[in-house]
Amino acid sequence: MLKSLLGQSAESRAEAFLKTNGLTLVARNWRGRFGEIDLVMQDGSTLVFIEVRLRSRSDFGGAAASVTPAKQKKLLATARQYLAALKTLPPCRFDVVALSGDGAPEWIRNAFDDMG
C-alpha cells in the first residue's frame, strides 16, 4: 500500500513539474495489454509517453537507470496499443522523469528510441 502511495505521489510531482514546463495531461496510468504508461502528455504537436521513476537511493544507477531494456520494450508495446486507437498518428517520444527523494525532478527527453 505504501509503495503505491509513493508511486502516486511521484506521478503527481512529475505531472505538476511537466505542466509547469508547458505539457498538457492526456491520460494518467493508461493500462494496456502489455503494461501501464504512467503519464501520456502533449508537448505541442508531440504525444509524449512518460515513465516516472522514484528511487530513494542512487545504488545501481538511481531512478533513470532503472528503465531497463525490458521495461522499454513493455512501454513500446503499450504505446503501440494506445496509438492503435487513434485516427491519425502524431509525432511521439518517450521521456523519463526520475525523482530521488525530495530533489528536483530529472526530465530525460527522448529517453529511448520511439516506434521505429
Antiparallel, parallel or unpaired: β 36-43 and 46-55:
antiparallel
Predicted confidence (pLDDT) per residue in 78-94, tens digit? 999 999 999 999 999 99
What CA–CA distance (Å, rounded) separates 32 from 30?
Answer: 7
Within a domain: residue 42? yes
Decide if 52 contacts 4 (C-beta within 8 A): no
What CA–CA distance (Å, rounded) separates 97 from 112?
Answer: 13
Predicted confidence (pLDDT) per residue in 30-82, tens digit? 999 999 999 999 999 999 999 998 876 555 455 556 678 888 999 999 999 99
The mean predicted confidence, pLDDT, of the chain is 86
pLDDT of residue 65: 60
Structural domains counted in the chain: 1
- 24: containing domain: 2-108
Please state the φ and ψ torsions of residue 45, each to the nearest 5 degrees.
-90, 0
CATH number for 37:
3.40.1350.10
